[in-house]
Structure 1
Amino acid sequence: MEVTKKVAIRTRATETRKTSPRWKKRLPYIIAYGVLGITTLPIILMYLWLLVSSFAKQMKYGFIPVQFTFENWKFLWSNVEQAGTTYPNIWLATWNSFVFSGSLTILEVIIGGMAGYALSRLDFPGRKGLMKITLLLHAFPSVALLIAVFYILNFLGLFDSLWGVVLVKTALQIPMTAWIIKGFFDDVQWDVEWAGLIDGCSRFKVWYTIVIPLIKPGIAAVSIFSFLSGWSEFLLLYSFILSDEHVTLATYLQNLISNPNLIHYGLLSAVSLFYMLPVMILFIFSQKSLMQVSVGGGKRV
């Protein structure tokens, strides 16, 4: 009997040793996913409400769909008319949003890439002081510069012009973009550039053909963030764009809620989903590039 008890105790101890490490390894993941699930549940419910509301004629008690309809999505094939007001074409607003975001991304990547390389590699007078005030320049809120920007755009003849707002937004974003890209340039070894210079390449050719391909993850991350910043921009566009031919999706949404007494929540939900769709597609195709990004160094100050 004693031998049998000892064997049973040893068997239980062995089983406990086999099972307990598994639970100990899985416990942090279970806790992490549980916390993430609880914190993201309100956001998931919000997007679910938008989806249901966009296809419902009415929401009873605010969350129960009453009747299924495609009427809320009629802005895709015709102009929206509400309370005697005809809103601009949604495809024109979409095109303007893509032009604005794409132009902003191109300018930021080109100018920010050159500025980041100069801050990382070149030793010029005032370099340290410029780096110290770079983040300070980015810290200025756009609303504090509206009056000054208005006078500048009006003087240049770029008021009520999409390209004028592109230039303003680019100028506000470049300090942070240059700082981020500088960190990636700092991670590139000097030996790589010296090898290109010894082979007879110019400084620009070394930068374009050798260094830039080595920081592709950083360029991809900056491009994505620049596009998202332009896509979500509202204040500058609302302040300096007056005509309907230059309307973007952000200002289009504002037009739908300009009169609180005449808000069509089904239409507003449908346009909001349409507004988010390009961003969701961009995230799906770019998440691999974002996962490859390592934090830039900033080794050389």
Structure 2
Amino acid sequence: MAQIDWDQLAAQSRRHRLIKNSCLILFLTLVSVPVILPFFWVVVISFSARTGGVESAILWRACAVLVPAVLAYGVAHLTLPRIAHRLLAGAGILGLTALGLWLSVGAELHLNNYRFLINANLIEDIRGAGTVGGQFPWVWTAFGNSLLVALCSTVMKVTVATLAGYYISRFQFRGRNGFLQGLLIIEVFHPWMLTIPIFLVIYWVGLLNTLAGPILVLTAIGLPFFIFIMKGFFDAVPWDIEMSAMADGATRRQAFHMVVLPQVRPGLIAVGVLGFITGWEEYVFVTALRTGNSYWVMSTYLYYVAEDVMGVDYGLVAAVSVFYMLPSLVLYLACQRYLTQMKLGGIKG
């Protein structure tokens, strides 16, 4: 009987794993490039565009440095097992990227397009007084309003979806199936179809031209989907864990706060992130529920910055776009650890 060469089998297994991982990384690279390239263009335009326009050569030279740098960090993040090694690789890639950008397009970079952050009257100075039928606000005013809408709607979505998801998951009550079917039916119809009825309701209750109107509308529209998400997470928490806590003397409320909620933390974070992004990027209802310029948010600010019949200042539009994307990007980077480990309907990913 021939003796099995375990060393050869181990080497063959490592070789197959290396080939498989290489093919996976190559596939993800080819898929990612068309997705991330437009975002890099926006960033490069915001730091390089001048009054005369944008030079495509600058875009390609900058992206020739940025895209490989991001892909190299992605490969390092996938292959390096230790966090210290990942941080060291990230610092090295960041340094090489900065050096490459300085050598390739360093002379073209400037911060002039971001002057809207410190000049409250920039848009009016560019286009003249009376812009879009009224005084154009400072960007920080629109930023604060968007942040208020996103945070308030997120808090209400997380709170209501958590309580409703828990109740639906743990209790049997008359009309439970009908309630779930009703939530599904609501998700079938796009909320934009209800713009006129929602406008009338908001007008009748006296919330027109207030930020409370969009906050309540965004909360109500997002709740059916988020309730289903939280119900799935609560369904995955074993009932025995909660019963054991109550058998040891905990009340139902204590068992919910101290035992169940920690188990569904990925769901809470997912609902919070999705709810914030939905509220932050909303344009239709924050525009439809106001008359004139009673309030401004970042989406309407960006729209009117880009709308100019006399010619678009692409550098300014790109800079506002980058500033608009920053909160969502920061939130994702802060929560990516939990989002990448999340599994819908499960306790751990």
Superposition map of 1:77-88 within 5 A: 77-79=118-120, 80-81=122-123, 82-84=126-128, 85=131, 87-88=136-137
Question: Which residue in the other structure is 2:22 paired with?
Answer: 30
Residue 129 of structure 1 and its aligned partner are, at CA, apart by 1.3
Alignment partner of 1:108 out of 153, 157, 176: 157
Q: In structure 1, the residue corresponding to 2:174 is in which secondary structure?
A: coil
CA contact (8 A) 1:92 1:245 kept: no
1:142 aligns with 2:191: yes
Question: Which residue in the other structure is 2:252 paired with?
Answer: 203
Question: Which residue in the other structure is 2:323 paired with?
Answer: 274
Letter in 1 for 2:28: L
Superposition map of 1:46-61 within 5 A: 46-56=38-48, 57=50, 58-61=52-55
Instruction: Deviation per CA, 1:67-103: give whole Å up to 9, x if none.
Output: 5432211111012223213531111111111111111
Q: Are the structure 2 counterparts of residues 172 and 16 from structure 1 closer, same or farther at C-alpha, using a change threshold of 3 Å?
A: same
Q: In structure 1, the residue corresponding to 2:288 is in which secondary structure?
A: helix
CA distance in 1, matches of 2:11, 2:53: 50
**Farther-moved stretch of structure 1 (285-294 vs 77-86):** 77-86
Letter in 2 for 1:71: N
**Farther-moved stretch of structure 1 (203-212 vs 229-238):** 203-212
Higher-Rg structure is 1
CA contact (8 A) 2:209 2:294 kept: no
1:44 aligns with 2:36: yes
Question: Which residue in the other structure is 1:64 paired with?
Answer: 58
Residue 30 of structure 1 and its aligned partner are, at CA, apart by 1.4
CA contact (8 A) 1:54 1:269 kept: yes
Alignment partner of 2:286 out of 229, 237, 241: 237
CA distance in 2, matches of 1:258, 1:272: 14
CA contact (8 A) 2:166 2:234 kept: yes
1:121 aligns with 2:166: no
Superposition map of 1:216-255 within 5 A: 216-242=265-291, 244=293, 246-255=295-304
Give the total of aligned pairs. Answer: 285
Alignment partner of 2:345 out of 272, 296, 301: 296
Instruction: Deviation per CA, 1:167-197: give whole Å up to 9, x if none.
Output: 0111011111111100111112222222343
CA distance in 1, matches of 2:226, 2:6: 57
TM-score w.r.t. the length of structure 1 is 0.86
Q: Are the structure 2 counterparts of residues 63 and 161 from structure 1 closer, same or farther at C-alpha, using a change threshold of 3 Å?
A: farther
Matched residues, percent identical?
Answer: 31
CA distance in 2, matches of 1:121, 1:106: 23
CA contact (8 A) 2:305 2:317 kept: yes
CA distance in 2, matches of 1:270, 1:259: 16
CA contact (8 A) 1:162 1:241 kept: no
Alignment partner of 2:148 out of 75, 99, 124: 99
TM-score w.r.t. the length of structure 2 is 0.75
CA contact (8 A) 1:113 1:178 kept: yes
CA contact (8 A) 2:184 2:224 kept: yes
Question: Which residue in the other structure is 1:6 paired with?
Answer: none
**Farther-moved stretch of structure 1 (229-238 vs 196-205):** 196-205
CA contact (8 A) 2:266 2:338 kept: yes
What RMSD in Å do the two structures reach over aligned CA positions?
Answer: 2.5
CA contact (8 A) 1:138 1:173 kept: no
Unaligned runs of 5+ in 2: 60-106
Residue 160 of structure 1 and its aligned partner are, at CA, apart by 1.2
1:286 aligns with 2:326: no
CA distance in 2, matches of 1:261, 1:38: 39
CA distance in 2, matches of 1:269, 1:177: 32
Residue 119 of structure 1 and its aligned partner are, at CA, apart by 0.8
Q: Are the structure 2 counterparts of residues 124 and 46 from structure 1 closer, same or farther at C-alpha, using a change threshold of 3 Å?
A: same
CA contact (8 A) 1:53 1:59 kept: no
Question: Which residue in the other structure is 1:5 paired with?
Answer: none
CA distance in 1, matches of 2:33, 2:311: 30
